[in-house]
Amino acid sequence: VPELPEVELARRVLARELEGARVERVVVADERLDAVALGGLVGTRGVKVERRGKWLRLTFARKRTEVFVFAHLGMSGRWLVADAGAPAARHERVRLEVARARWKTALLYTDVRRFGRVLVAPADFEAWSELGPDPLLEGTDPERLHAALGARRVAIKVALLDQRLLAGVGNIHATEALWRAKIDPRSRADALTLPDVRALVKGIRATLTLGLRSQQGDEPAYVQDGAANRFKVYDRTGPCPRCGTNLVKIVLGGRGTTYCPGCQRRIR
């Protein structure tokens, strides 16, 4: 469910609740998670919560040593804030009960499909250190991205989903960015010129920034939640909002992809 904007929202909530708080109780309710390692967090203090792409890194400290927890929301993960001692949430997998001063809260990790991860690992954990630049943290250097795309013969949409190239762009924002840049998602990655990549980088930035702006409060805003679809073409059918041509939906790299055959140019 989550892409960069939703993960950033989770980061803010976790940072607010965790930083400076002491871990009092840990409950793990998923046999594929390491209950022993996570249980070892009891007695530590939350130090900071960082994000790179769609990964979160939670730093805890016990005396002078640091412990890292890496968390990924997968397709259906969420972090909820509840009162300490609140009954288990639906699909709750991990509960961190924390206290600061005399204030206690519970951070509940819920995940219907269980594609998400919550693991204790060293700071140089592979999936984290191999991430490409984060478009909103370091920004995206068009020349560097252009060079990297030159080695890829896959569709540009598929390349955008490779987190080692660029961290944080998922299916929605890849779809949106390509529409904004007027590039057909089926275009081969190595066919894009530097000006094409510049337009794409602008599109990525625009759609992620808009996504971030639309996140209000503690709860991520999703299309399904009854709210109006805030995207230009994702999950839409009918006329293109820019040129009026009917949108088309195809499958690329196993993922649903919507584009406008009227104004998104196929680069060859």
Partner DNA sequence: AACGGAACCTGAAAGC
Partner DNA sequence: TGCTTTCAGGTTCCGT
Is residue 92 flagged as an active site residue?
no
Residue number, 48 or 114, with CB nearest to DNA:
114
Please state the separation of Cα 38 from the chain's center in Å. 22
**Distance separating alpha carbons of residues 185 and 157, to the nearest angstrom:** 5
Look-up: residue for tokens 């997968």?
Answer: 74
The candidate with the shortest Cα–Cα distance to 48, out of 8, 24, 21, is 21
Site residues (CB under 7 A) for DNA, limited to 192-211: 211
Choice among 11, 51, 52, 54 that is catalytic: 54
Instruction: Enumerate the β-bridge partners of residue 55.
Output: 52, 72
Q: Is 135 in the site for DNA (CB under 7 A)?
A: no
Residue number, 97 or 111, with CB nearest to DNA:
111
From residue 108, alpha-carbon distances to 77, 116, 121 in Å are: 10, 13, 20
Q: Is 133 in the site for DNA (CB under 7 A)?
A: no
From residue 78, alpha-carbon distances to 74, 123, 170, 255 in Å are: 9, 23, 17, 22
**Pattern of binders to DNA over 73-112, x per CB under 7 A?**
-xx---------------x--------------------x
How many binding residues for DNA (CB under 7 A)? 40
**Distance separating alpha carbons of residues 10 and 170, to the nearest angstrom:** 16
Structure tokens at 206: 């625009």
Structure tokens at 201: 């980088």
CB of 132 to DNA, least distance (A): 11
Is residue 52 flagged as an active site residue?
no
The candidate with the shortest Cα–Cα distance to 95, out of 172, 29, 167, is 29
Is residue 126 flagged as an active site residue?
no
**Pattern of binders to DNA over 40-79, x per CB under 7 A?**
-------------xxx----------------x-xx----
Q: Is 158 in the site for DNA (CB under 7 A)?
A: yes
Question: Residue 82 carries which side chain, given as an amino acid letter?
Answer: A
Q: Is 136 in the site for DNA (CB under 7 A)?
A: no
Residue number, 76 or 142, with CB nearest to DNA:
76
Instruction: Summarize as ranges the residues that interact with DNA (CB under 7 A).
Output: 1-3, 5-6, 32, 53-55, 72, 74-75, 91, 112-115, 127, 151-154, 158-159, 161, 163, 170-172, 189, 211, 220, 222-224, 235, 253-256
